[in-house]
Structure 1
Amino acid sequence: MQHFPIFLALAGRRVVVGGGGDAAVAKLRLLLKTEAHLTVVDPAPVPEITAWAAEGRLTLITRAFEPGDAMCASLVYSATENTAKDARIRRLAQADGALVNIVDNLDDSQFITPAIVDRDPVTIAIGTEGAAPVLARAIKRDLEDRLSPMLGMLARIGKTFRPKADALPMGRPRRDFWSAFYFDAGPKAAEHSGETGAQAALNGLLTAHLHKEDREGEVIFVGAGPGDPELLTLKARKALDTADVVLHDRLVPLEILELVRREATIIETGKTGFGAAMSQDDINDLMVTHAAEGAQVVRLKSGDPSVFGRLDEEAQALSEAQIPYRVVPGITAASAGAAALGHSLTRRGRNSDLRFLTGHDVAGFADHDWATLARPGAVAAIYMGKRAARFLQGRLLMHGAAAETSVSIVENISRPDQRIVAATLGDLSDKASDLTGPAVLFLGLGSEAAAQAVTEAPATFKPLEKNDYPASAMEFY
């Protein structure tokens, strides 16, 4: 981010525009919406600027820009449409201590003016750091179409009502009150009775909320999906936007955490495979404690909460504490990984069933129905199988699986650094040893990339001996 977005208070402060042509007029149309004291300096301004000066809306100085013209100015716009004149104004204004913007000259400007959606006092600024002004305008147009013209009126009413609303306890009670006004009662009342109706709705709503019993806390189990923020469900986005506390898995990426309401408390529960981790009891205690205090708690889990996410354990702890909860499902990594491979997880004539497996459980490497998994055409999505790859490979081969059985590994599923690793059962442990990120192994599924890799580098298979397995796998013999 090269330009930090900020809203500058201009009421009563000087803003100077150097130039009097069409570019200056375009800038002034925006600046005239503010309460700044505007000064235009140009020897031959267009009639529109002269008319604004005659109306008292700005001060007009009909000469070239001189030293001292920008003294005490917060901002200076140079809009002469002449490179040499703009450069001169820039030097003079900076000498006077003002920040300078040269219209249509990003490199020589100290600040930029974004595209603006105006629902005064609601203002939305859209900036692309000069990289894509057409895109900024398209976003502006889209927001203009979506935002009600009544939005500004409701905000103005709400602003004057804030002292009365302070009678409500801080935090969630106030947020619930304002949400009810801006997104339900306010628009409905304004549509039928205008500003008077919206004001009356506020008074009635406050009375109702002052006599409302304390809202019960709850926990929402939310599936964060495999990592791509665009794969979040609408319900998940809403839960993140209204959460008071978010307890998230280590695998939930920063891009998704950025969607959480800024005032929310965010806590990483830090479960790391084969490493340091917050205990399950501690996680349960955090959920219960915050919800019992009336907070809306989001338990944010990567993928889908019901797939290897310890949902039942955590839900049981909440039930025992009489804390209400609900579940917002997410896209599990297997579905997103199969999409990356360009495959269906099931296909007529190939497999009529599908297994989701874990590579290890609380006791060590997980045991499964290996004979069934070793049959031709079997398909399984294996979670947490990276460290267990050698064990999985050995068990399947021992039960008759062919060494050339396709295995695709999708690492960092749906993220910018997603990688597909082509493997066969014969070289699975070697291919998995290079992985550094979270991955799902797809037994029985290849991809065009996988097939090409196998063709170019045929697997060499050496049968595993018993002593080749990690010690933690020996209990399964």
Structure 2
Amino acid sequence: MNHFPIFLATQGRRIVLSGGGDAALAKLRLLLKTEAKVTVFAAKPAPELQAWAAADQLTLIERSMDVGDTLCAALFYAADEDATEDARTAAIARADGALVNIVDNLHDSQFITPAIVDRDPVTVAIGTEGAAPVLARAIKKDLEEKLPASLGTLARIGKGFRAMAEKLPFGVARRDFWAEYYDTAGPRAIAHGEAEVEVALDTLLDKHLNTQAKAGHVDLVGAGPGDPDLLTLKARKALDKADVVIYDRLVTPEILELARREAIMIDAGKEGFGKAMAQDDINALIVEHGSKGHHVVRLKAGDPTVFGRLDEEIEAIEAADLSYTIVPGITAASAAVAGIGQSLTKRGRNSAVRFITGHDTKGYADHDWRALAETGQVAAIYMGKKSARFVQGRLLMHGANPDTPVTVIENVSRADQRVLATTLAEMEPTISAAGLSGPALTFLGLAPRAAVAAASSYDLQQEAL
């Protein structure tokens, strides 16, 4: 992020613009919505600009800008639509300490003006750092259609009521009050006038003051394999409401970014054969925050029902008499098999698939190796990097074909996903040689579709020879 978005207080502050043509008018239409003191320097001002000056909406000085003209200015816009003149005025403004924007010159500007959806005092700013202004306008159009014109009125009235709302306890109770105001009570009342909105606020506050504090709730949420686009809508909603997010090591930063900014973020990561927060400590954290009335999201990579120690956490939640919801996610096997163009089951190939783990709390996990070694078996091996040699040895020991295809997918669904296609015989040292650093899932009995197609083509060529 090269441009940090902020909202600058403009009341009573000085903003200076140089230019009197179309570019200047476009900027001024936006600047005149603020409470800033706007001064414009233009040797040949457009009639519209002169009309604004006559109406005392801005100060117009009909000459080119000169040294000292931007003293005490917070912002300066160079809008003469002439590269030489814009560079000259920008240099003056910088010397005077103003932040400078040169119209249509992102490289030399110190700040940029975003596309804005105005529902004063609600303002939505959309920026693309100059990369895609057409996209910014499209987003603005979409938001303009979705945000009702009454939203600004509701926000203004609500702002005046904030001191009264502070009678409610800080946190969940206060947030629930405002959520009900903006979601239902306010929009219903505004249809009958502003006076009805104020009555609705009084009624709503009385209701919330006389309502017992809500008990905490826990959402056990699957974050999916890593791609935020694969996060379910229900998971997104849970993150929007969370007071506390207790997340695993494999949950990606892009998904953590979707949580409420005010939420408490707690890293409860575990690493196979490495550092880990004890499960009892995780259970205690969930119960501690839930018992305080917080909305807790326990965020697990993949699906919480697959190797997620879900039952232990549910037992702790139930023992504390807290409510909970399980929000399933896309497990790594589903995303990984899609990434190699295959399916987990296929008629004539395999009618079953096994999800197994390479290790458990006691070390390397044991399975029915004899059954897994049979021809045509497909298994998705979770947490299998460090146990690869053990798994390989057990399968070969029980008669598995050394040529059985094995595919390892690192960082499933992410931008840096990597696919290793090998065989059971070469499973190790292939995995060690690859230097995998991210989470990986291993498929026994599946090869990437491209590799299968290439092998089939080669076989046909050999038969023809």
TM-score bracket relative to the smaller structure = over 0.9
Matched letter for residue 317 of structure 1: A
Aligned to 2:349: 350
Aligned to 2:240: 241
Matched letter for residue 368 of structure 1: H
Matched letter for residue 239 of structure 2: L
The answer (yes or no) to whether the contact 1:422–1:453 under 8 Å persists in 2 is: no
| Distance in 2, Cα, partners of 1:112 & 1:231 | 32
Secondary structure in 1 matching 2:356: strand
The answer (yes or no) to whether the contact 1:421–1:450 under 8 Å persists in 2 is: no
Aligned to 1:258: 257
Aligned to 1:404: 403
| Distance in 2, Cα, partners of 1:299 & 1:92 | 54
Once the two structures are aligned, what percentage of the paired residues are identical? 63
The answer (yes or no) to whether the contact 1:423–1:454 under 8 Å persists in 2 is: no
| Distance in 2, Cα, partners of 1:215 & 1:307 | 31
- 1:104-156: per-residue Cα shift (whole Å, max 9, x none)? 11122121111111111111111121122112112211221222222111111
Q: What pairs up with 1:154-193 in 2 under 5 angstroms?
A: 154-190=154-190, 192-193=191-192
Matched letter for residue 318 of structure 2: S
Aligned to 1:467: none
| Distance in 1, Cα, partners of 2:158 & 2:169 | 17
Q: What pairs up with 1:10-49 in 2 under 5 angstroms?
A: 10-49=10-49
The answer (yes or no) to whether the contact 1:422–1:449 under 8 Å persists in 2 is: no
Aligned to 1:150: 150
Aligned to 1:330: 329
The answer to whether residue 383 in structure 2 is matched with residue 384 in structure 1 is yes
Aligned to 1:466: none
Matched letter for residue 132 of structure 1: A
Aligned to 2:221: 222
Aligned to 2:75: 75
The answer (yes or no) to whether the contact 2:342–2:449 under 8 Å persists in 1 is: no
| Distance in 2, Cα, partners of 1:159 & 1:408 | 57
The answer to whether residue 280 in structure 2 is matched with residue 287 in structure 1 is no
TM-score normalised by the chain length of structure 1 = 0.92
CA positional deviation for 1:196? 3.0
| Distance in 2, Cα, partners of 1:148 & 1:112 | 27
Pair 1:185–1:379, CA change in 2 (3 A): same
| Distance in 1, Cα, partners of 2:188 & 2:331 | 39
CA positional deviation for 1:36? 0.8
Matched letter for residue 385 of structure 1: G
**Cα RMSD after superposing both structures:** 1.6
Aligned to 1:446: 447
Deviates more, 1:274-283 or 1:90-99: 90-99
| Distance in 2, Cα, partners of 1:426 & 1:218 | 49
Deviates more, 1:225-234 or 1:180-189: 180-189
Matched letter for residue 251 of structure 1: L
CA positional deviation for 1:453? 9.2
| Distance in 2, Cα, partners of 1:88 & 1:41 | 13
TM-score normalised by the chain length of structure 2 = 0.95
Matched letter for residue 370 of structure 2: A
Aligned to 1:472: none
- 1:51-87: per-residue Cα shift (whole Å, max 9, x none)? 1111111111111112221111111111111112112
CA positional deviation for 1:454? 8.0
The answer (yes or no) to whether the contact 1:243–1:260 under 8 Å persists in 2 is: yes
- 1:218-253: per-residue Cα shift (whole Å, max 9, x none)? 211010111111111111111111111111111111
| Distance in 2, Cα, partners of 1:185 & 1:353 | 52
Matched letter for residue 92 of structure 1: I
Matched letter for residue 220 of structure 1: D
| Distance in 2, Cα, partners of 1:388 & 1:108 | 55
The answer (yes or no) to whether the contact 2:99–2:110 under 8 Å persists in 1 is: yes
Aligned to 1:473: none
The answer (yes or no) to whether the contact 1:383–1:440 under 8 Å persists in 2 is: yes
5+ residue gaps, structure 2? 457-465
Q: What pairs up with 1:67-216 in 2 under 5 angstroms?
A: 67-190=67-190, 192-216=191-215
Pair 1:363–1:108, CA change in 2 (3 A): closer
The answer (yes or no) to whether the contact 1:24–1:79 under 8 Å persists in 2 is: yes
CA positional deviation for 1:269? 1.0
Aligned to 2:338: 339
CA positional deviation for 1:94? 2.0
Secondary structure in 1 matching 2:219: strand
Secondary structure in 1 matching 2:76: strand
Matched letter for residue 11 of structure 1: Q
Matched letter for residue 133 of structure 2: P
| Distance in 2, Cα, partners of 1:231 & 1:189 | 38
The answer (yes or no) to whether the contact 2:243–2:295 under 8 Å persists in 1 is: yes
| Distance in 2, Cα, partners of 1:242 & 1:185 | 19
| Distance in 1, Cα, partners of 2:263 & 2:91 | 45
CA positional deviation for 1:93? 1.8
Secondary structure in 2 matching 1:20: coil
5+ residue gaps, structure 1? 456-477
CA positional deviation for 1:452? 8.0
Matched letter for residue 65 of structure 1: M
CA positional deviation for 1:2? 2.0
Secondary structure in 2 matching 1:193: coil
- 1:8-38: per-residue Cα shift (whole Å, max 9, x none)? 1111111111111111111110011111111
Matched letter for residue 137 of structure 1: R
Matched letter for residue 186 of structure 1: G
